[in-house]
A and B are shown apart, each in its own frame.
Chain A
Amino acid sequence: MSRLILKNIGRESAIFSFRVILSILIMGVLFSFLAYRLAGLQITQHEHFTTRSKENRVKILPLPPPRGLIFSRDGVLLAENIPTFSLEVVPELAGDLDELIVKINSVIGLDDDEIQRFKKEVKRKRKFEKTPLKLKLSEEEIARFSVNQFLFPGVTIATRLVRYYPHGQDFVHMLGYVGRINEKEVKRIDKANYSASSYIGKTGIERSYEPQLHGQVGYQQVEINAQGRIIQVLKREPPLPGHDLYLTIDTKLQSIAAKALGERRGAVVAIDPNTGAVLAMVSYPGYDPNWFVNGISSDRYQTLSQSVDRPLFNRALQGQYPPGSTFKPFIAMAGLFFGVRDEHDQSSCPGWFSLPGGQHRYRCWNKSGHGGVNLQRSIIESCDIYFYELAKDLGIDRIHDYLKGFGFGKVTGVDLAGEAQGLLPSKEWKLKAKETSWYPGETLITGIGQGYMLTTPFQLASATATLSMNGKRVIPRLVGQTEDPATGKSGDLLSETPQKTVEANEEDWELVSQAMRDVVLGQRGTARKIGMGASYEFAGKTGTSQVFGLKQIAEDNMAKDQIPEHLRDHALFIAFAPLKNPVIAVAVVVENGGSGGRAAGPVARQLLDYYMQNQ
């Protein structure tokens, strides 16, 4: 009771009223502050936020241009774009992801890799962004999922165009492949034009014709919701598809070349000497370019890159081999041009040759010697002694200056990236590269296409074409025509006229061509078996290039069949047909194939046979 007396109701009420009024004042200040800030957002900064709200809602979506198709000259489709389907998940809409994975697994099946990759990617992305769960759905998987789609909110099937090479490895070394754009490439490409593209040409034609194949990106202005789903399309600028390419390759000739080479490491190149059109180009072994399109597994890549057969290596374009005796017709032309030899001048071949005052014996392949040989016989029977002497009399610099015209020692300029240069040695080159002076003995072995001399099969075919055209030369090309599928307009890339790059008298050309004819068609030719039964006239030259020095073999006293396979000689063969107004020039290299006539010659013959009958 006494406590009640202590309570002063009046005072309490007064305190209360005062505190309420104080509260109202404080609330008034706070609300005013809030209203002031709201006015700031809604009136002062209204325009800024309107823009941002529009940016949120209206997205410019780039539309990828369909990549140009690649056809062969005879109209066979070599590279196409096929739609692939992938299962994509918006985690925010899909609910419990572990449960989802179990459910989807029961419908279409998922492997552990896919689940791991998905979980990783989900963590990285925002909850309302699409994440692919399974790539490359099969028809059956699509059907199974579609029937059950109502069970899976937030899961959709997305379509993308993916590059596909229907012939697998048959054309891989010329087509190359596309792959996902990597960090290095991002720096060099036009970002706007590639904003919708995920692939870029990595090697081969896919790479060298990237600008033509890619096309021009299109745009679509869309209204989207926060999940990124398109609500409506506001504006659309369609992409311009990439240009289709028509190769100069004849698929039948190509498959004959591939079959003829069989499962031997090597390369075959066939060129039309008049236009530079590449008619066939084979490098064996190869690989399936489709493996690379969506990223190759590291196991498979390891296997490919560490294989001793080097399947990733394009032997036709990048393989550098000593030309061996196939070099002799070209040296002969130099000898005739500089007047060092005429058709009657003879060398005497006892089976070896030594430089005056020198100890070393440079051997002829024919140990018993050819006796007296003139220029023609030296080519037909491939006498090394004749060419040691000729090279000695020419000197390395005259050899270098004259043979440059055939394209040795530099890239042919073919429309493929990554071409190797080969090597046409000179005194100047040796001083620079080896920092020592040139030795006379090195001139001798250059005369038979050994020593420092290196050439690619492509270079060799192109040089043979130049020889067949009496010194006129065209830059070889793999793509003959481009066609813009939007307008139907086509561009001809084979209109170049041959340029004279090697000077010589008409009779001299005639002399060397005849000698090469007799290599395959004459009684004493080193490749007379190759020419047997031919219904047309053609020219050829065998070559055998050393992997393992002859001297060493002699020292080790090894029998030929005891030499390990990878140390055996490379077999080479060059040919062109017909003799007058040639239409095809061929170079064949069979790695560790042994004799050029036996291993490489038949390959060339089969190409010529088909082409001469069917062109």
Chain B
Amino acid sequence: MINNSRSLSAKTHLDIPLLIALLLLCSIGLLVLYSAADQRMDVVIRQITRIGIGLTGMCVIAQFPMRTIIRWAPWLFGLGLIMLVAVMFVGYTGKGAQRWLDLKFMKFQPSEVMKIAVPMMIAWYLNEKPAPPSFQSVFMVLILIAVPVVLVAKQPDLGTSILIAASGGFVLFLSGLRWRIIFAAILAGLAAAPLLWHVMKDYQKQRVLTLFDPEKDPLGAGYHIIQSKIAVGSGGLFGKGWLNGTQSQLGFLPERTTDFIFAVFCEEFGFLGVLALMALYCFIILRCLYIAKVAQGTFARLVSGSLALTFFTYVFVNMGMVTGQLPVVGVPLPLISYGGTSLVTLLLGFGLIMSAFTHRQLMSR
């Protein structure tokens, strides 16, 4: 059996356990989406199309060995930067932010590309350098992170810029960044927090304040959080049942197909459902980290590890925000939230990870 799947893996260059877990997750996502989207099939079909595109892309990428992929890194990063600059001038504005490029056949969010391009670029840069990285390298890497992060944050898209920063940071961390630098960074971060407060826009401050006391403005800023917590809490241990969540079905829950879809899940499937979903996420993350550990070459290792940790960040930030533990930043629940670019880039990322696993040369171990 193990041999079979190994050989299947080798033939298709896909990691079968990861693939099954991803398909399972996407299926759960479609079920929840169907419920959250007032049982509209057209929404579900559009999401299936995106999953299809994402999975195809994933399979295609997995066919390329890492030594080929590594050569794409600087080009992809450069292209991403160009598109981010382009979006500032000719971008399509929606929901108060200028994030989209209109490619005629679809709206495209360049910041999403950066979620893969940044870790690839940094891993490419650190690939041939000794670990832990020198101060000079760290400085260079910070610049590589900062440029796209600032561009995205200006759109403004706080959620994505945090994820991009995180994905870059994770590469640094995994590459063996010295502890004193890490601690220094943490201290500097704490010291800079009040400064950050001044730089934040009013609506961002509002979101942080709302977190501490959502009931203060139950019909305004606190509305999302209150309704979301009601949905989660009223789900209880077993949930209200699929399609039976009153908070979502009667429309009290805002953004219920996108950022707040986890609240729909909690309401309809309860705490036991949540534990199962978290277990599935854990499996995917652990599988990716395992692949990263056994992957060959610094680039493959760093990229896989960073993408796995970024994936976790997605899950944690989204769940934290839906349950009222973290401020509301636009981070989707990966592979479940409705939305195009994020889904496709996530799956492409898994294509990279699969490539790192399936193109290993066994003799070198």
Contacts and interface: CB of A to CB of B under 8 A. Distances in A.
A135 interface: no
A375 B234 CA distance: 92
A43 B275 CA distance: 13
Contact of B289 (A7, A24, A31, A231): A24
A226 B176 contact: no
B132 A15 contact: yes
Interface in B298-325: 298, 301, 305, 309, 312, 316, 319-320, 323, 325
Interface string A498-511: 00000000000000
A15 B293 CA distance: 11
A17 interface: yes
Given A7-B130, A31-B278, A227-B251, 10 more contacts: A12-B176, A12-B298, A15-B132, A16-B305, A27-B312, A37-B323, A49-B233, A50-B234, A56-B252, A57-B250
Contacts of A236: none
Interface string A218-234: 00000111110001000
A126 B222 CA distance: 13
A11 B293 contact: no
B55 interface: no
A37 B321 CA distance: 12
A95 B252 CA distance: 19
A128 to B, nearest CB: 8
B301 A16 contact: yes
Contact of A31 (B176, B247, B282, B298): B282
Given A43-B237, A53-B234, A38 B323 contact: yes
B65 interface: no
A53 B247 contact: yes
Interface SS of chain A: helix, strand, loop or mixed?
helix
A37 B174 CA distance: 29
10 contacts: A15-B132, A16-B175, A19-B173, A23-B305, A38-B266, A38-B319, A49-B233, A50-B234, A53-B233, A56-B227
A8 interface: yes
B130 A6 contact: yes
Instruction: Decide if the interface of chain B is mainly helix, strand, loop or mixed.
Output: helix
B293 to A, nearest CB: 6
Contacts of B130: 3, 6-8, 12
Interface string B218-253: 010000000101111111110000000011001111
B323 A24 contact: no
Interface string A151-187: 0000000000000000000000000000000000000
B271 interface: yes
Nearest to B237: A43
Interface string B261-296: 000001000110011001000100110010011000
Interface string A45-56: 110111011001
Given A20-B174, A34-B323, A227-B251, A3 B298 contact: no
Nearest to A231: B250
Nearest to B127: A7
Interface of A: 3-4, 6-8, 11-13, 15-17, 19-20, 23-24, 27, 30-31, 34-35, 37-39, 41-43, 45-46, 48-50, 52-53, 56-57, 126, 128, 223-227, 231
A42 B251 contact: no
Nearest to B297: A9
B301 A49 contact: no
A48 to B, nearest CB: 7
B125 to A, nearest CB: 13
Contacts of B274: 35, 38, 42
B131 interface: yes
Contacts of B323: 34, 37-38, 41
B131 A12 contact: yes
A33 to B, nearest CB: 8
Contacts of A52: 230, 233-234
Nearest to B325: A37
> Which residue, A31, A38, A43, A224, has most C-beta atoms of chain B within 10 A?
A38
B128 interface: yes
A586 to B, nearest CB: 61
Interface in B318-352: 319-320, 323, 325
A521 to B, nearest CB: 76
Contacts of A19: 173-174, 176, 305
Contacts of A226: 250-253
A228 to B, nearest CB: 10
Given A35-B278, A42-B274, A231-B250, A16 B176 contact: yes
Nearest to A126: B219
A395 B221 CA distance: 78
B246 A57 contact: yes
Contacts of A42: 232-233, 235-237, 266, 270-271, 274
Contacts of B278: 31, 34-35
A31 B316 contact: yes
Query: Of B230, B271, B293, which is in contact with the most chain A CB atoms at under 10 Å from its CB?
Result: B230
Nearest to B292: A20
A12 B296 CA distance: 12
Contacts of B325: 34, 37
Contacts of A227: 251
B174 A53 contact: no
A56 B246 CA distance: 9
A53 B309 contact: no
Contacts of B230: 49, 52-53, 56
Given A7-B128, A16-B293, A225 B250 contact: yes
Contacts of A39: 271
A3 B127 CA distance: 11
Contacts of A224: 250
A34 B236 contact: no
A612 B213 CA distance: 77
Contact of B234 (A38, A46, A231): A46
Contacts of A231: 250
Contacts of B286: 24
Given A37-B323, A225-B250, A43 B131 contact: no
Nearest to A7: B130
Nearest to B170: A23
Contacts of A20: 174, 289, 292-293, 305
A19 B320 CA distance: 24
A121 to B, nearest CB: 15
Contacts of A57: 246-247, 250, 252
A23 B309 contact: yes
Contacts of A23: 173-174, 289, 305, 309
Contacts of B309: 23, 27
B51 to A, nearest CB: 25
B319 A34 contact: yes
**Top 9 A-B pairs, shortest CB-CB distance:** A49-B233, A226-B251, A53-B234, A15-B176, A225-B250, A42-B271, A41-B233, A12-B131, A49-B234
Given A3-B128, A37-B325, A41-B323, A16 B232 contact: no
A16 B251 CA distance: 47
Interface in B149-197: 173-176
Nearest to A58: B246
Contacts of B235: 42
B322 to A, nearest CB: 10
Most chain-A CB neighbours within 10 Å: which of B130, B175, B285, B320? B130
B250 A223 contact: yes
B316 A38 contact: no
B250 to A, nearest CB: 4
A34 B292 CA distance: 25
A231 B38 CA distance: 14
A126 B254 CA distance: 13
A52 B234 CA distance: 8
A231 B250 CA distance: 9
B174 to A, nearest CB: 5
A38 B233 CA distance: 8
Contacts of A45: 233
Contact of A16 (B174, B246, B285): B174
